[in-house]
Each structure stands twice: as C-alpha cells, then as structure tokens.
A and B are shown apart, each in its own frame.
Chain A
Amino acid sequence: MALAGVAVFLGVLAVWVWRAGLGLHYAYAAAAACHPVSSFACGDLVSRFNGMDGFLAPGWVFQVVPALIGAFAGAAVLARELETGTFRYAWTQGFGRWRWTLAKLVPLAVVVAAAAGAFSVLLSWYYQPYFGAGNQNLGLSEASPLAGGLFELRGVALAAWTMAAFAIGAFTGKLIRRVVPAIAATLAIYAGLGVAAGSYLRQHYLTPLLIKNNFPPASAQMLSRWWTKGGQPVSQSVASQVLQGAPSQVAGKGGVPQALGSVQYLSQHGYTQWISYQPASRFWPFQWIESGWLVALSVLLIGATIRLVRRRAI
C-alpha cells in the first residue's frame, strides 16, 4: 500500500519534472549558444532562462519528497498497526514481533531510498543548467552545488534524506502509536533536521577555505566575510564608512566588478577583506559525509524502533 503510494507519487512528479526540464534545457541551450552575447536578442533569451520555473529553481519545493515519503510510508508502518489494533494479530504469530518489524522496516527503507535515488537522477538532470561553468559571464543564473535547497536534491543526498525521514517516521510511529500525530511529528522533526543541517552542520563538514582581498568563484558557497586592519578585526560599519569616501564608480551598487573595486579601494587604505567559503569541488565529499551520517542515523533509529518493539508491544 505504502509502496504503491510512493510509486504513484514519484511517477507523477517525475513526468512533470521531465516536461519542465525539457523546457528549461531548451531555453538554456538557446541562451548559452546565442551570439553575439551583448545583442538584444541574446539578452532576451538570457532573461527568459533566468525567469523560468522560478519557484523550482531554489529547490525547496522538492524537499517535500523525503518529507512526504517519510511521513506517509514511515510513520504509518507501525502507527497504523498500533492504532487499529492489528499488532495484536501480527505480533503474536510464530514469526515474532521484532523479526516482523525488522522484515518490514529494512526492505521498506531500502526501497524508498532507492526510489528517491532514482528520482534524484532526474532532478540532477533538471538542475544541470544552473551549474554550467561560465554561466555567470553570460549573465545566466549560476548556483553553487553546495547551496542549501539544491545540495539535498542531487547526488546521493536525496536517497539518504528519504531513508532518514522514513526511519524518523517509523520511530515516531512506534513512540506515538497514532498515525496522524506521528505524521505531524515526522514532518516537524524532518524540517528541523533539514534546517539544522543546511544552516549549521554542512558548512563544518570540512574546514572552510579563506580568501584574502578577492572573491571566491560563483560556484563556491560563501560562508562569511569580515575585515581586518593591521591584524585587528574591523566592523562592517567602519568598512562602509571608508567606502563612502571612494569615487562613485568604485562603490557602485553590488555586482562583482564594483565589489572587486571596493575591495581594492579598501586594501589601498590598509584594510584586508577575508572571505571563508566552501569550494564547489567539495560537492562529492560533502555528499558522502551528509549521506553517511544520515544513513547512520537511519540505522540507529530503525535499530531503536526494533528494540522498542522487542521490549514490549503495549
């Protein structure tokens, strides 16, 4: 039942993503191949690509995939048995209840993770245009592969997140013993864990790199920026004040060339700008680190669930 639901859900979503992806790839190919770049027609194509699928581009929408699979497939597995009382039948058969739980949770966890993994191949294809080298020079949207929202959808992360969501669901289902509250709790825990990983954990997987008086490539994930003068930290307001004395073309409104100009201006006045960042080349190490701890968490939660079932059913 749960598996059929997951298959239908992912199937419908996949068809939709595939259709949207064809359009996106077509628009990207047209914009990237346009020549000369500065022509009005090319600018039109570029802004057409940049404006496409605006709500899909940050990737947050697809975070619901692990969440829903975890909630509806994971939380329901044990909670439904406990809520409807069928555990009194299932868990008193000769097979034994902890073996029943093991035989149910482990294959299901693997299957939902595999399904999510297959889906993430499609998502990787969909998001490919945003990671084209040289996008920035053409004025096309370029995203960091490490950016929160997209990082979780590509590589092996989506499968790992789905497995973790499933394990969270199974565990809360056993603890709460009722389907709807268990689904709500699973969604809340998954969201909390997702935010914690994206905002706090991921940037510490490996020691960030530092760059002095320059900017990392657009594909890198910038973590923080600060200034020093003579080895002493300087607040941003001081740096801004210094910049106000600069000629107008230097302290322009954002944009990399102007920003680089302002860094040069500040360094001429004895200030040093530091930026810590994670380079795009760390995409795969980070994928394995994140998937590693998520799988470990899943194993731990499924093990704990089986232990709880083994200890007592009521």
Chain B
Amino acid sequence: MNVIEASGLAKRYGSTWALRECSLAIPAGHVAALVGPNGAGKTTLLNLTAGLTAPTAGCLTVLGGRPAGSPSALDGIAFVAQDTPLYKNLPAADLLHLTRNLNRRFDQHYAQARLAELGIPLNRKAGKLSGGQQAQLALTLALARRPQLLVLDEPVAMLDPIARHDFMATVLTAAADDGVSVVLSSHVLAELERVADYLVLMSQGTVRVVGETDHLLASHRVLTGPTAEADRYARQLSVIHTRRGEAQVHLLVRTSGAADPAPPGWEVHPVSLEELTLAYLREPGVAALRGPARGRHAEASAATR
C-alpha cells in the first residue's frame, strides 16, 4: 500500500505554481522525510494530502487509493500543521474532549497517559504551555486518533534541541510500536539521518529524488582526487555535484552498485544524507531520481506487512 501516491500533481496559487508535474509514491511503513528549500512545495503537498486544498491538476490518493480529503482519507490521517495550531484558550482536557468528538476513534487512555508522562496538566490552557509542550500536545491529539498515517508539517522548526529530540522520539515510538506511517517535512537536515528511512527531495515545486535512505546512500559516493584529473573522470561518471578545492576535487557521484570501480589513486567515501541532500538541492539541473518503479513499492510493502 502506498500512503501517498501522486501523479501529475500540480497546484497553482494565483499565477505562481507551488507544485508542478509532481509524481511520487511513498509506501507504507516508513518514516518519510520531505526535504527541500523554502518554496519547494513541501507544505503545499502536505496540505493537499490532508485535504485542506484541492489540486489544480493531477490526482492524489492516500492510504491505498482513497482520494485525498475524502471522509475515509481524513479518518485515517492525522495532520499536525506547521506551528501546531491549537485553540489557545482551551485547556488540554477540553482539547482531548473536542478531538474525541470530531473523530470516530479516539484513545482517551493513551492521550491521558501520554500527557501525564509529559507532565502537561490537563487543566492548563494550551496557550499557557511552552512551545515544546504545545507541539507534544498536538502530537498526542493526533496519535490518539490511532491514524494509519501521521503527517507532520515542519514539526520541530520552532523547538529547542531538547524539545525537538523528545518530539521526534514520540514520533519514532509511534512508528515502531504501532506501525504508523509517518510523512514529515523539515529543513532541519541533521535531524533526518536519525529519523527518516525514506526521503523525498523537492525543489521548485517538483520531486527531485525519491527513495529509501539506505538505498540512496548506498548508490552514491564521494570521490576525492586531484583537481587536474577531475574533468577526465567526470565525463565517465554520473556526477551530481562537484566541489573543487586548491589541489583536490570532491565528486559526488551516483553509482549503479558497490562494484563500481574508482579511478586509480582516488579516495572513495560513503556519503551522508546531509551531503546528498545538499548536492541535489545545489544542482537543480541534474536529472531527477525517481527511485524504483511504483509496482515494486507495492510488492515490497505487501511483503513487509
């Protein structure tokens, strides 16, 4: 099952295209990170997923073919928007009550236990909680709905490092223990390596790279060698990004497998997720990497279930 599947998706606001020709499939059972610079279309894609807005063109389904925004889609998706908007003048207990009334499923015990664990008093108004606590409260409300897919838009952007860590720990626990699929957008790259096992790299309204992070990391290498030889090898390899120093040059290349031979006298390093992401974002001209075919995703996810 694909938790998100888009084909030819486009969204225009006025005269600017926030998304254009966007096709991707995110299989279930992953923590997928949507990465890209501001204005890449991450929030637009997530808003479309949550059904808050309708696409200008193309189609988007969630949770295995449910049209985004349909009642059955909303039932299975919990969305935590940017800056975790909550009714600031409502106490946490009232927010639990409200969320329970607005959903078919709501795990009151989980929610109360979780808030107790976090030390969030039920009678405290949401607006009086710290930023980290507000984010945790919003996340608790979302997870208590027992969703199949948790969508988080820039969940940790406003949080300090400890709150950020705690928040992501809650997300990962839910993903690991309850099998919740997670799609989150972030531009905090350092966080992703620890968290995400699936990467969707976006820029300028299109998807640039999609794939499992392990697979992506295995298929890219950094080659370091003398600057003078760089141009000769660059023609033979598929170079994503070139970083030139005085004497040495670093080529980030896409390899077809571990067996690819390095040029003699060159050093080979594995690539970090951050390096990989930055390389693709700095080179908008490089052909997109769409990952394995969609059919294989479906099979793979069926096998893991």
Contacts and interface: CB of A to CB of B under 8 A. Distances in A.
Contacts of B145: 93-94
A305 to B, nearest CB: 17
A95 B103 contact: yes
A176 B5 CA distance: 33
B85 interface: yes
Given A93-B102, A100-B102, A313-B53, A88 B74 contact: no
Contacts of B74: 92-96
A131 interface: no
Chain B, interface size category, equals: 20 to 34
Interface in B238-257: none
A86 interface: yes
A1 B105 CA distance: 27
B52 A91 contact: yes
Given A93-B74, A93-B99, A94-B103, A312 B54 contact: yes
B77 interface: yes
A1 B47 CA distance: 29
A81 to B, nearest CB: 9
Interface residues of A, number: 20
A314 B50 CA distance: 12
A7 interface: no
A90 interface: yes
B102 A88 contact: no
Contacts of B103: 93-95
Interface in A125-164: none
Interface in B50-108: 50-54, 71, 74-75, 77-79, 81-83, 85-89, 99, 101-105
B102 A95 contact: yes
B102 A84 contact: no
Contact of B53 (A1, A86, A93, A312): A312
A84, A85, A87, A94 — which one has the most chain B CB atoms within 10 A of its CB?
A: A94
20 contacts: A1-B89, A87-B52, A88-B81, A89-B81, A89-B86, A89-B141, A92-B50, A92-B51, A92-B77, A92-B78, A92-B79, A92-B81, A93-B102, A94-B102, A94-B145, A95-B74, A96-B74, A312-B52, A314-B47, A314-B52
Enumerate the 4 nearest inter-chain pairs by beta-carbon distance, A residue then B residue, closest first. Answer: A88-B81, A93-B102, A85-B85, A94-B103
Interface of A: 1, 84-97, 100, 311-314
